[in-house]
Amino acid sequence: MTPFQVSILAADNVLYEGPCESLIVPTLQGQYGILAHHSNMISAVVPGELSYRVPDGEEQLAAVSAGLVKVENNEVLVLVDTAERPEDIDVNRAKRAADEAKEAILQKRSIQEYRTAQVMLAREANRLDVKRHHDDVKGRHM
């Protein structure tokens, strides 16, 4: 497969920069695949599972939050608020945060607090899903 250049950047870290053979990002229309020489485009990224394959490597997974993906001249830029590899996700912390978000949703103190809690709950649920998927795939390869 022909590689292309990709940069996956979060607000507080660089998840990956380098050559890539394929990239799949979560969008409003579903999982969107990108290969070398993809047409130029910009799309919103939604919270979900992002996957990419580096040359001669295994598929890599990440839990990402909202952001955008831009493809231009065979280079791809993914900008998201957060991006975490499954091995960096603390399941117990994510469960506690999800429980706190659920409680905040039930409290309904204000519209803003309600929306913030909804976003937090979606983020933690996504982190747990990506971690679970990673662990399932890892378990099948052992």
Grade residue 140 by pLDDT with cuts at 50, 70 and 90: low
Q: Could you read off the pLDDT of 78-88 as tens digits, one per residue?
A: 999 999 988 88
The angle formed by the CA atoms of residues 119, 123 and 128, to the nearest 5 degrees, is 150
- Does one domain contain both 38 and 70? yes
Q: Could you read off the pLDDT of 13-32 as tens digits, one per residue?
A: 999 999 999 999 999 999 99
Q: What's the domain range around 59?
A: 4-84
- Does one domain contain both 108 and 46? no
Grade residue 108 by pLDDT with cuts at 50, 70 and 90: low
Q: Which long-range contacts (CB under 8 A, 24 or more apart) does 48-51 make?
A: 48/126, 49/126, 49/129, 49/130, 49/133, 50/8, 50/23, 50/24, 50/25, 50/26, 50/78, 50/83, 51/23, 51/24
- Give this prediction's pTM: 0.75
Among residues 42, 58, 84, which one ends one of the domains?
Answer: 84
Number of structural domains found in the chain: 2
- Does one domain contain both 66 and 114? no
CATH number for the domain including 13?
Answer: 2.60.15.10
pLDDT of residue 134: 78
